[in-house]
Structure 1
């Protein structure tokens, strides 16, 4: 497929597409204020570092892995959406799913996984953007 061959030469960044304000996103996804405050307090400080890391050209291979992971997670979340009353349940479901795969590297870095999931949400990579 020609697009797959040329995708690396196409410009763009993580910010190129619509994302509602975070308060609106929380309402759309039914993320509780308590969980949002936890996310903000514990993990917001990491988000700029993640963004800078992913946008650095030397980390292009990691950006590709990130994008593939986002696509897979977003599909899994959408397919299982009816199981979640609140979006924080989706985060827990993903963590349980990953732990069930017995990947010791990820399990040992569970806190980083949570930080990345929160970044994906905050960055509008996972979760709904529209009502």
Structure 2
């Protein structure tokens, strides 16, 4: 289950974090309040129910912070969040506050939530940095990114209901993650490829017929074909290479997600032109790598359409 955390805003994200903390720490978890230094913390005093585990519970005072961003596809490892060489980032700005609480014996354990992706490397580096700067054992520090939040919401679905958090239900919301990996690999392939193939792949439904079935305007269809048709054969050959079997699986995951979303949400769009533009804009806005490869991203969307992986098609090709 995926949620649009970017759209929550600071207050609603804090409400979500408090609801999770009451489930993970205990009902005594207090909501976010502004401290004398202007920061906002949530707090729990007692024996935690589930953190870090039910068999090895924290005891004492747990301070919780929530850092929300409106940006899409952001991560803990970005320099605006963590950069030990600079004082102008979220972690560096929070260190003095954490140290102050620790020095006043008002913090035994520290938890930081953020609607960002958290990799293992970033988690280790940030936790070690906070531990060193604030004299807190690493075992008393926990970082929670969207992956962990999603896991807890799956385990405790009532939490989402408590804060009126609905699953993503916007038209054609799709994840760019898998496509980003495919685009990155294909971009490297193009740089090293000796030549291009000019023969387009054999489609299951004739292009004109497919455009009619999907209500794509002739002008838009002609422009797509003019710009991207020459690249599709090379991409098909790229996916067919035995060494790229994992990328083929990723591609298949992407088109399945896209197609199911299109079927569910298509009624909100008048033409397939709008569907294609919406998908392209969504992917490019949400992922830095796709944003750096805009043309390839749009070409792959065209390939999906041309190859009848997305949109309505027919089992037998007609012309």
Answer yes or no: same fold by TM over 0.5: yes
Superposed, 1:77-92 pairs within 5 Å as 77-92=262-277
| Greater C-alpha radius of gyration | 2
Name the counterpart of 2:312: 128
For 2:280 and 2:230, how far apart are their aligned partners in 1? 21
Deviations 1:14-66 (CA, angstroms, capped at 9, x unpaired): 97xx9321111110001111111111111000010000001111111110111
Residue 285 of structure 2 contacts residue 291 of structure 2 at CA under 8 Å; is this kept in 1?
A: no
Superposed, 1:1-131 pairs within 5 Å as 19-101=204-286, 103-130=287-314
What TM-score, normalized to structure 2? Answer: 0.34
What TM-score, normalized to structure 1? Answer: 0.81
Quote how far apart the aligned CAs of 1:100 are.
Answer: 4.1
Quote how far apart the aligned CAs of 1:92 are.
Answer: 1.1
For CA contacts below 8 A with separation 6 or more, give which structure has more relative contact order: 1
What RMSD in Å do the two structures reach over aligned CA positions? 1.8
4+ residue runs over 4 A deviation: none
Q: Which moved more, 1:45-54 or 1:73-82?
A: 73-82
What are the ranges of 5 or more consecutive residues in structure 2 without an aligned counterpart? 1-200, 315-319
For 2:284 and 2:230, how far apart are their aligned partners in 1? 25
* Count of residues in Structure 1 that have an aligned counterpart in Structure 2: 114
What are the ranges of 5 or more consecutive residues in structure 1 without an aligned counterpart? 1-13
